[in-house]
Structure 1
């Protein structure tokens, strides 16, 4: 039986909420198409994660842009049906070529890393075994379009190789993700990593003296104690009557915002939510003074995306039918696993999120002129760039204490 060479795909994203994507007024049509596809992919991936048995009763948090960056970079090396499945799974239209996609991600990453805002870093890296020789064209495209750092390692020395990868990830995510790789497949010849680190400060910070212990209702039968932050100010909000969901926009000092969604029925929101609805919210929001309460929390998530991506149609890359002839003519090259880790920290100053993928009740008092908006039960969160509607991170907070 033929020995299979393993390709590891890891997507890393770290967010501390500071903007990175630039307005898209002058984007070519193909770049706009890829941007729209990334938005569709974000919600498809979220729904798959939310429906997964391992996610039931747990917080969900991930970086869809980070995952799509890793998979787009992988598609550079794919051919035939493997390539078609990757493009279809990523929601790329049939009119888009590999060159279109490469140029689009080059635009996204170039403008992201040229931003004047601090504490933001996005990019990719490839770790290649000393005995494996990828095609120069593959490595050149990764370097030019995906700003890929390249490293040679000896994957037969599994512990040392894992340490090398983990140290790189830890540095790029400012320590937010320090142990991405634990068990390396002994047949690994290449690891492809995509990372994002993002840190931002609230445009209007919360005052720490107003943070108090309060109840958070995980479900009808479960309450947990959380530190609840409090702020009274004018906020852009929208009440989606169709979904019975209150949407709050909390801007950061840059061009990014956090959208917090408080639904009456979480399942209804999750099933219906998509790019067009988010755009509608942003367009229809109006400023109103609110007294808001949001839990202070820190969460970390980890996902093996093999099954989820297979359910999204990207099956061949994991098995004997994988075709990565644009990486190497070597027989038997396949993806061993796609792993994603993400973290989110929210406090009075701002929010910090990091992700790595390898490959409350609304109450109003009639006599009170300032209504209360309290996120004291499960809610959804999206970190979005206001000009391009690019979704950097999204998730669902079921329990802020886990």
Structure 2
């Protein structure tokens, strides 16, 4: 019953799309057009992928500089945030759309909204076709049963972002939040169990993206070698951690420019965790870019034997992204100047809140990570050496080696908090 209203609109929209006229082409013309479209599509996917990588580090730096993040671990999913914002851009117009594209690092002179939508379609298809991994990504939209979105908006979400659609009564704020939280909890294997703590009853739409990844190390750590050891939070603070130990042939790279040692720990798949141990954290986090990740992965051609020490840890993070995204230039969507007329004919719609939660568990067998982003829309009226010991603050990336897609990114200051 809950899905009927939204799904009905998707069906209507599909009929509208199918009903458009077609111009008949000869076989040669047809092949030429197909080849041209394929080349253009591949180029667009590459441009969007590069933009997503750029956005990852822009958002990281913004979070790291924020007062609320001082002295805290940072961990989030750039892929989840960019997917949610890209889906929102489907319904944005004018200056609001321009700000979203610019904030997401999309080059609007080279990319159209359709290019972006098709690229995310490819990304989500690839993520969910990785049968060797326990991994999933997706989106959902929860629409108030008294609100009428445009059929073409819902159709694009369904077709390009594989969005699940639900109709809810947002005037029942507690029940609606519970419904959304249970959906996200199920999709993230119980890791994100309370994405939304509260809901404004004036909410008319909630756009969700989620990501879940669980991988086993290609070479697992022996639990018998895990011992209590010190982790140096700063010059004056030490905490006791369970320090895992592994001796194996591993890929490493010493980045002299950043005075950082980089270790690649592969999962038994195409995914890897990159651990970066800098001499000075600020030097790394202020300069790190997608080019550095590319350079590191290309330079790691010969594995060498290393003895590695990494803390076993489990962390959870939570962010309200309104201020952070505004500081990245995405201002209009939050106020009276928001132009979300691609979502609905209704005037006065704006984003009221963007929240993001993430978790990361690292132990002897592997790593498990999850994240979810919620965009709430309402009415405006309303780290050289053979021994590598990660015993001081370090950064972490989970990436897909072939595409260099950054699934998760963060900084571990204190593994015990």
In 1, are the aligned partners of 2:313 and 2:362 still within 8 Å (CA)? yes
Map 1:70-81 → 2, pairs under 5 A: 70-81=84-95
Q: Deviations over 1:251-279 (max 9, x none)?
A: 00110100000000000000110000111
Q: Deviations over 1:365-388 (max 9, x none)?
A: xxxxxx211000000000011011
| Partner SS state of residue 225, structure 1 | strand
**Which residue does 1:5 correspond to in 2?**
none
Residues of 1 paired with 2:127 and 2:390: CA distance? 31
**Residue 343 (structure 2) pairs with residue 327 (structure 1):** yes
What is the TM-score of this pair, normalised by structure 1?
A: 0.91
Flag structure 2 segments of 5+ consecutive residues without an equivalent: 1-38, 376-382
**Which residue does 1:398 correspond to in 2?**
413
**Residue 62 (structure 2) pairs with residue 48 (structure 1):** yes
Q: Please, which of 379, 387, 396 is the counterpart of residue 372 of structure 1?
A: 387
**Which residue does 1:116 correspond to in 2?**
131
Residues of 2 paired with 1:372 and 1:174: CA distance? 35
Map 1:143-222 → 2, pairs under 5 A: 143-222=158-237
| Partner SS state of residue 215, structure 1 | strand
| Partner SS state of residue 392, structure 2 | coil
Residues of 2 paired with 1:64 and 1:168: CA distance? 21
Q: Please, which of 126, 130, 134 is the counterpart of residue 141 of structure 2?
A: 126
**Residue 326 (structure 2) pairs with residue 287 (structure 1):** no
Deviation at 1:97, TM superposition (A): 0.2
Deviation at 1:118, TM superposition (A): 3.5
Deviation at 1:331, TM superposition (A): 1.0
Residues of 2 paired with 1:220 and 1:185: CA distance? 44
| Partner SS state of residue 230, structure 2 | strand
Q: Please, which of 90, 98, 104 is the counterpart of residue 84 of structure 1?
A: 98
Structure with the bigger RCO (C-alpha within 8 Å, sep 6+) is: 1
| Number of residues of Structure 1 aligned to a counterpart in Structure 2 | 371
Deviation at 1:145, TM superposition (A): 0.2
Residues of 1 paired with 2:41 and 2:152: CA distance? 26
Residues of 1 paired with 2:303 and 2:134: CA distance? 29
Q: Deviations over 1:310-338 (max 9, x none)?
A: 01100000000001111001111000010
Deviation at 1:26, TM superposition (A): 11
**Which residue does 1:17 correspond to in 2?**
none
Residues of 2 paired with 1:35 and 1:242: CA distance? 25
In 1, are the aligned partners of 2:133 and 2:269 still within 8 Å (CA)? no
Q: Please, which of 23, 48, 54 is the counterpart of residue 34 of structure 1?
A: 48
More helix by share: 2
| Partner SS state of residue 303, structure 2 | strand
Deviation at 1:358, TM superposition (A): 1.1
**Which residue does 2:33 correspond to in 1?**
none
Residues of 2 paired with 1:200 and 1:167: CA distance? 24
In 1, are the aligned partners of 2:241 and 2:311 still within 8 Å (CA)? yes
Residues of 1 paired with 2:330 and 2:304: CA distance? 45
| Partner SS state of residue 325, structure 2 | helix
Which protein shows a greater Rg?
A: 2
In 1, are the aligned partners of 2:359 and 2:371 still within 8 Å (CA)? yes
Q: Deviations over 1:79-137 (max 9, x none)?
A: 00000000000000121000000000000001211221242111000000010010000
Deviation at 1:241, TM superposition (A): 1.2
**Residue 313 (structure 2) pairs with residue 297 (structure 1):** yes
RMSD (CA atoms)? 1.4
- Runs ≥4 in structure 1, deviation > 4 angstroms? none
Residues of 2 paired with 1:384 and 1:122: CA distance? 14
Flag structure 1 segments of 5+ consecutive residues without an equivalent: 1-24, 365-370
Deviation at 1:27, TM superposition (A): 6.4
**Which residue does 2:77 correspond to in 1?**
63
Residues of 1 paired with 2:126 and 2:308: CA distance? 34
Map 1:269-280 → 2, pairs under 5 A: 269-280=284-295
**Residue 182 (structure 2) pairs with residue 137 (structure 1):** no
Map 1:311-322 → 2, pairs under 5 A: 311-322=327-338
What is the TM-score of this pair, normalised by structure 2?
A: 0.87
Q: Please, which of 252, 270, 286 is the counterpart of residue 267 of structure 2?
A: 252
